[in-house]
């Protein structure tokens, strides 16, 4: 039961909810039932069938309608006298500026992507509005409180990059099923059905591979009038047979690894069976390309069955055939989509055949789809718990009860018999470029990198600015806006194509650039350090790998992390201590990889979001938690610090005692 004081804080509050999905539906219901009377909701999406299992304010008849509006109507049915204002819009729209945010007493996020979260964080900081962040992934969840100047902001801790795998592991030495999935979807599927102009590292390159004309690049081109079965056999033998033989010829690779087995179709599936493939049900006709299915065509019903090598090979041929027969127009433009049944079937089959070759256990289509689509199945209960915790923190915030703010982690396995782990919030990170004025450091080859690279890869992709302005002293190098004069636009366009050292106001080592986003009201300085940008060699057997671009999300070369160092640009935090001890002639410290700002830029395609602390947990990055609240842990368990860690596969979570606090730069909120 809420106290009188709490009730009056609740009744007088005007709150903004961003996101009306899994967490948002629960949150709106809980806010309304807790007595909140003035709630605004922003959500840009419409309702999909896949939302209905957990976004309980929505029904089948609502599919296609605005989430924000339907959520409002559903809640008004049991709380008719409160005010709920829905906005079917993107929170990044310019209407939602700092003045808009300032009208609220607290902002509550129920989002599913980093980009929108960072944007809201910045507007809350600019408007001085408290923010309560949340996220869930399966059984894991968290709620954090961000108050300008008092607690860390959402961006005080760098966010880890999406999980990535070295190219060599994917192309030559897979050891886990996920490696086979990445190979099947980002290499083989992309090669056969995607954009032909994209770089693709499917073929193991070695001197003998390139010398053989039979196995030259165009093996993947289907010749005019080439019978589809024959084309399929050629691809199969090339990728599962010949390429494995080539890889095996490099003895060094296999000294300490199990040797893979080349697979040729003649040994797996007799020719008659390929010809009969897909003829099991001749009456099977699917006009709608989205319902074309190799499983249906072959009479395979249960997606949870693990198919044999032979069955996988049949699915491989049938899916390939169906793409060419039923979806030919899309070939060349396809990219893997977890909701595309035929694509999932093809990728499952190809990954399993590769797994068989490398002695890796095979998986069902259901499992393969989960891995390929990065799916962590959402748990409605976790969303409900998290929504409840958001409301609890919101009430504290409205009462200015700073001593009792908690960041709460919802764990998968009990730790000290607790599933909910409350932690006192951290103080702001003094070197956070978002909530403090600390400059950043960028190591860049100023005579090679263009202004456009700097803007796209650093200012937009890493710093998350949408409408950037770049200044060198008082000289404007770049800005965007609707009201710019034509000659200014032409000047900026010309600047974009220039390398940094040749801009009208040249950028060199020691330059300080100011970058601003006017909508987010965020400004930060970047100290430039010139670097020749040479990258050290890698221990990979793929010649020329260094010059290859990463092959889609999750890809990187060993030792060279394109996410952190796009085109050799290294962005890192800048602290006074570092400056004092290691300053160089350019007035900047050498970069420390562990300090590099590595922020996730991709949109989450997962069913549920991968939130901050959870991200740290699931990507194996250690995150120290400060002393836990005396009120919430038994005396025997009071340790200075606790760490959340995980194993390599990312879903086991456990807490480790750690009496030593020297690793933590963060202080508890006083
Ligand atoms: N920039 C944004 N502006 C407004 N709403 C956003 C923005 N980004 C994400 N959202 C909303 O946040 C909500 C997040 O909800 P949730 O995590 O449950 O995802 P979902 O899209 O509903 O479900 P799923 O992705 O699992 O199908 C979504 O409704 C989405 O529309
Ligand atoms: Zn911060």
Query: ipTM above 0.95?
Result: yes
| DSSP class of 258 | P
Ligand 1 center from residue 603 Cα (angstroms): 10
- pLDDT of 277: 63
Give the per-residue pLDDT at 657: 27
In terms of Cβ atoms closer than 10 Å to its own Cβ (0-12, 13-18, 19+), residue 245 is middle
Residue 555: phi and psi, rounded to 5, are: -100, 145
Ligand 1 atom 16, closest CA: 21
Gap from CA of 102 to ligand 2 centroid (Å): 19
> Is the Cα dihedral 146, 149, 150, 155 positive or negative?
positive
**Cα(615) to centroid(ligand 2), Å:** 17
In 43-132, which residue ranges form alpha helices assigned H by DSSP?
67-76, 98-102, 114-127
Q: Quick one: pLDDT at residue 356?
A: 98
383 CA closest ligand 1 atom index: 18
Cα angle, residue 507 at apex, residues 506 and 512 outer, rounded to 5°: 130
Pairing verdict, β 407-415 and 38-42: unpaired
525 strand-pairing partners:
514
The Cα 305–Cα 42 span in angstroms is 41
Å from CA of 20 to ligand 1 middle: 7
Centroid of ligand 1 to alpha carbon of 24 (angstroms) = 9
Ligand 1 and 646: CB distance under 6 A? no
Every domain of the chain and the residues it spans: 4-138+377-405, 167-205+221-271+292-373, 440-541
| Number of C-beta neighbours around residue 257 at 10 A | 11
pLDDT of residue 566: 56
Which atom of ligand 1 is the closest one to the Cα of 89?
A: 4
- Give pLDDT, residue 225: 85
CA distance 20 to 14: 17
pLDDT of residue 110: 98
Ligand 1 touching residue 50 (CB < 6 A): yes
The protein residue with its alpha carbon nearest to ligand 1, atom 27, reads 607
Give the separation between CA 533 and CA 440, rounded to whole angstroms. Answer: 18
Q: Which ranges of the chain have pLDDT less than 70?
A: 1, 160-163, 203-217, 272-290, 533-567, 574-670
44: Cβ below 6 Å to ligand 1? Answer: yes
Q: Are 462 and 601 in contact (CB under 8 A)?
A: yes
CATH superfamily of 167-205+221-271+292-373: Ubiquitin activating enzymes (Uba3). Chain: B, domain 2 (1.10.10.520)
Tokens of 353: 């055949």
Domain 4-138+377-405, classified CATH 3.40.50.720, yes or no: yes
CATH code reported for the domain at 440-541: 3.10.290.20
Residue 221's pLDDT is: 86
SS (HEC) of 168-213 = HHHHCCCCCHHHHHHHHHHHHHHHHHCCCCCCCCCCCCCHHHHHCH
Q: Which ligand 1 atom is the nearest neighbour of the CA of 42?
A: 4
4: Cα within 13 Å, side-chain hemisphere: 0
Q: Is 45 in the pocket of ligand 1 (CB under 6 A)?
A: yes
Which residue's alpha carbon is nearest to atom 31 within ligand 1? Answer: 45
Structure tokens at 338: 């977890």
Ligand number with the minimum distance to the CA of 124 = 2
CB atoms within 10 A of CB 458: 25
Strands 165-166 and 623-625: unpaired
**Cβ 27 under 6 angstroms from ligand 1:** no
pLDDT of 656: 26
Q: Which of 16, 21, 382 to mutate to test ligand 1, by most ligand atoms within 8 A of the CB atom?
A: 21
Distance (Å, whole) CA 438 – CA 432: 6
Angle between the 341-357 and 309-326 helix axes, to the nearest 10 degrees? 140
> Could you tell me the distance, in angstroms and rounded to a whole number, from the CA of residue 526 to the centre of ligand 2?
16
Regarding the beta carbon of 607 and ligand 1, being less than 6 Å apart is answered yes
Cα separation, 601 vs 591, in Å, equals 21
CB burial of 552-561 (b: ≥16 within 10 Å; e: otherwise) equals bbbbbbbebb
The answer to whether residues 58 and 70 touch, using CB atoms and an 8 Å cutoff, is yes
- Residues that place a CB less than 5 A from ion ligand 2: 153, 155-156, 432, 434-435
Q: For this structure, is 524 an active site residue?
A: no
Nearest CA to ligand 1 atom 28: 21
pTM of the model: 0.68
In angstroms, the CA 167 to CA 175 distance is 13
Residue 250 has what pLDDT?
85
Is the minimum distance from the CB of 53 to ligand 1 under 6 angstroms? no
Q: pLDDT value at position 565?
A: 55
* Alpha-carbon dihedral sign for residues 512, 513, 518, 522: negative
pLDDT, residue 108, reads 98
Find the helix packing angle between 22-33 and 380-398, rounded to 10°.
Answer: 50
* Dist CA 126 CA 106 (whole Å): 13
Integer Cα distance of 145 and 108 in angstroms: 10
Top mutation candidate among 19, 337, 390, 519 for ligand 1, by most atoms within 8 Å of CB: 19
Q: How far is CA 472 from CA 358, 381, 485, 506, 621, in A?
A: 55, 51, 20, 8, 36
DSSP per-residue letters across 278-315: T-TTTT----SGGG--HHHHHT---TTSPPPHHHHHHH
* Nearest ligand (C-alpha, residue 96): 1
**Using CA atoms, how far apart are residues 471 and 163, in angstroms rounded to an integer?**
34
The single residue of 25, 124, 168, 540 carrying the catalytic annotation is 168
Distance CA 178, CA 20 (A): 32
User: How far lies 71's CA from each of 45, 56, 424, in Å?
Assistant: 12, 9, 32
Query: Would you say the C-alpha torsion 96, 98, 104, 109 has a positive or negative sign?
Result: positive
């Amino acid at each position: 039961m809420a106290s009188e004081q709490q009730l009056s804080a609740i009744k007088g509050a005007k709150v903004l909810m961003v996101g009306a999905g899994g967490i948002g539906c629960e949150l709106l219901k809980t806010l309304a039932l807790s007595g909140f009377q003035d709630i605004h909701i922003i959500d840009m999406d419409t309702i999909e069938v896949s939302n209905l299992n957990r976004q309980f304010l929505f029904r089948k008849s609502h599919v296609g309608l605005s989430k924000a509006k339907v959520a409002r109507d559903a809640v008004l049915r049991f709380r008719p006298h409160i005010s709920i204002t829905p906005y079917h819009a993107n929170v990044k729209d310019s209407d939602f500026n700092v003045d808009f945010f300032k009208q609220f007493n607290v902002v509550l996020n129920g989002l599913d992507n980093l980009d929108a979260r960072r944007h809201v964080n910045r507007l809350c900081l600019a408007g001085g509005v408290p923010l309560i962040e949340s996220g869930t992934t399966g059984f894991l969840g968290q709620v954090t409180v961000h108050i300008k100047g008092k607690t860390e902001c959402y961006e005080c801790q760098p966010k880890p990059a999406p999980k990535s795998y070295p190219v060599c592991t994917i192309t030559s030495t897979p050891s886990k099923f996920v490696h086979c999935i990445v190979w099947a979807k980002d290499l083989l599927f992309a090669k056969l059905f995607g954009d032909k102009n994209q770089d693709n590292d499917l073929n193991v390159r070695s001197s003998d591979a390139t010398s053989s004309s039979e196995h030259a690049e165009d093996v993947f081109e289907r010749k005019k009038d080439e019978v589809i079965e024959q084309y399929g056999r050629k691809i199969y033998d090339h990728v599962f047979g010949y390429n494995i033989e080539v890889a095996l010829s490099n003895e060094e690779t296999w000294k300490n690894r199990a040797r893979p087995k080349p697979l040729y179709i003649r040994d797996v599936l007799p020719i008659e069976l390929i010809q009969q493939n897909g003829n099991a049900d001749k009456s099977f006709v699917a006009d709608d390309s989205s319902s074309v299915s190799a499983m249906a065509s072959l009479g395979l019903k249960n997606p949870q069955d693990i198919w044999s090598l032979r069955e996988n090979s049949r699915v491989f041929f049938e899916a390939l055939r169906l793409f060419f027969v039923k979806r030919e127009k899309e070939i060349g433009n396809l990219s893997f989509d977890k909701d595309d049944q035929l694509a999932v079937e093809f990728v499952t089959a190809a990954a399993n055949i590769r797994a068989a070759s490398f002695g890796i256990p095979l998986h069902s289509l259901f499992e393969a789809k989960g891995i390929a689509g990065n799916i962590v199945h959402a748990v409605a209960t976790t969303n409900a718990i998290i929504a409840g915790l958001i409301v609890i923190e919101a009430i504290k915030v409205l009462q200015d009860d700073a001593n009792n703010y908690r960041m709460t982690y919802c764990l998968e396995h009990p730790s000290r018999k607790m599933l909910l782990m409350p932690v006192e919030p951290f103080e702001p990170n003094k070197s956070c470029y978002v909530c403090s004025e600390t400059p950043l450091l960028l190591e860049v080859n100023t005579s090679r990198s263009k202004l456009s690279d700097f803007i796209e890869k650093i200012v937009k992709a890493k710093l998350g600015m949408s409408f950037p302005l770049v200044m060198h002293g008082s000289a404007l190098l770049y800005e965007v806006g609707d009201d710019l004069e034509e000659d200014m636009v032409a000047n900026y366009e010309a600047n974009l194509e220039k390398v940094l050292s040749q801009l009208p106001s040249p950028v060199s080592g020691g330059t300080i650039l100011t970058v601003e986003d006017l909508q987010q009201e965020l400004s930060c300085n970047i100290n430039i350090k010139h670097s020749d940008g040479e990258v050290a060699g890698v221990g990979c057997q793929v010649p020329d790998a260094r010059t290859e671009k990463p092959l889609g999300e999750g890809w990187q070369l060993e030792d060279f992390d394109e996410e952190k160092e796009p085109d050799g640009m290294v962005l890192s935090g800048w602290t006074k201590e570092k400056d004092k001890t290691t300053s160089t002639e350019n007035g900047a410290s050498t970069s420390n990889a562990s300090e590099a700002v590595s922020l996730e830029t991709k949109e989450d395609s997962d069913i549920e979001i991968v939130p901050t602390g959870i991200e740290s947990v699931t990507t194996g990055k250690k995150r120290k938690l400060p002393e836990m609240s005396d009120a919430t842990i038994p005396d025997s368990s009071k340790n200075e610090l606790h760490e959340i860690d995980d194993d390599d596969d990312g879903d086991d979570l456990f807490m480790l005692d750690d009496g030593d606090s020297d690793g933590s730069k963060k202080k508890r909120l006083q």
